[in-house]
Every structure is written in C-alpha cells, then in structure tokens.
C-alpha cells in the first residue's frame, strides 16, 4: 500500500510560480511517480513523470520548459516546480505512483495505481 499526500497548491497571479510537493508513505519509495491535473469538465491530463533510479523525466508539451519534476528518495517526496503560470493552468493537481513496473504508457492515468487526493491551483489573470 502507498499513501500520497499533495501540498503547495493555492492562488497565484499569472506569471507567478508555485511548488507542489507529494509525500509518499507505505512501501519503499522504489517506483515511478507522476503529476497530473484535472480542470472542471476536462479529462485528467498528464504533466510530468520521473523514474525512481535514474531520475529520467518526461513532460507534456503543454508544460515543457515551465514545469520541472524532481524527487528526493531519502525523503520520499516528489515535487513539481511550476513557473510562468497561466490562467489555463488552473486545475486540481494530483501526484500518482506506479508500483507495478514499467510496461505500458506512463502518459496515461491507468499506468498509475496510487493517487493522492489532489491540491487546487488557481491562476488569476
């Protein structure tokens, strides 16, 4: 079992920055992690992912160059640094864990088997 808790969301003006964190508890932190978001009336959208050993990172085109995913395996945390925020970045942000291995598509929600409860990010214009 894995428990994920996000923090760091809030209200920010366009052009500003936020840093989201996700704390993992439960089994050993030896699994891939990802960040998604979901805006009202829209599907859950992949943002970024990171592997647990080589720290390889993957990004959606919509956030590449603005968002950075990182992890600290000693602290069992994964973070998402978000810069140059836009009003269209407004959504609930979720961290997710894949504990089942690397087969499949890391860009799809179904690849992940554990999810946090989400944290709201609102970007005002």
| Rounded distance between C-alpha atoms, residue 115 and residue 64, angstroms | 22
Residue matched to tokens 């590449």: 64
100: closest CA among 113, 115, 91? Answer: 113
State residue 17's pLDDT score: 98
| Rounded distance between C-alpha atoms, residue 100 and residue 86, angstroms | 34
For 89, the 3-state DSSP assignment is helix
State residue 27's pLDDT score: 85
In DSSP notation, 3-35 reads EEEEE--EEEETT--EEEEEEEEES-S-SEEEE
State residue 81's pLDDT score: 98
Q: Evaluate if residue 102 carries a pLDDT over 80.
A: no
Model confidence over 59-75: pLDDT tens digits?
999 999 999 999 999 99
């Amino acid at each position: 079992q894995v428990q994920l808790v996000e923090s760091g969301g809030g209200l920010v003006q366009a052009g500003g920055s936020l840093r989201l964190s996700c704390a993992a508890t439960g089994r050993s932190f030896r699994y891939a992690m990802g960040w998604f978001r979901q805006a009202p009336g829209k599907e859950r959208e992949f943002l970024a992912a990171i592997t647990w050993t080589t720290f390889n990172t993957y990004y959606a085109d919509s956030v590449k160059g603005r968002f950075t995913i990182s992890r600290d395996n000693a602290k069992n945390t994964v973070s998402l640094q978000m810069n140059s925020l836009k009003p269209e970045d407004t959504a609930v942000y979720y961290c997710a864990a894949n504990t089942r291995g690397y087969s499949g598509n890391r860009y799809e929600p179904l690849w992940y088997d554990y999810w946090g409860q989400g944290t709201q990010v609102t970007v005002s214009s």
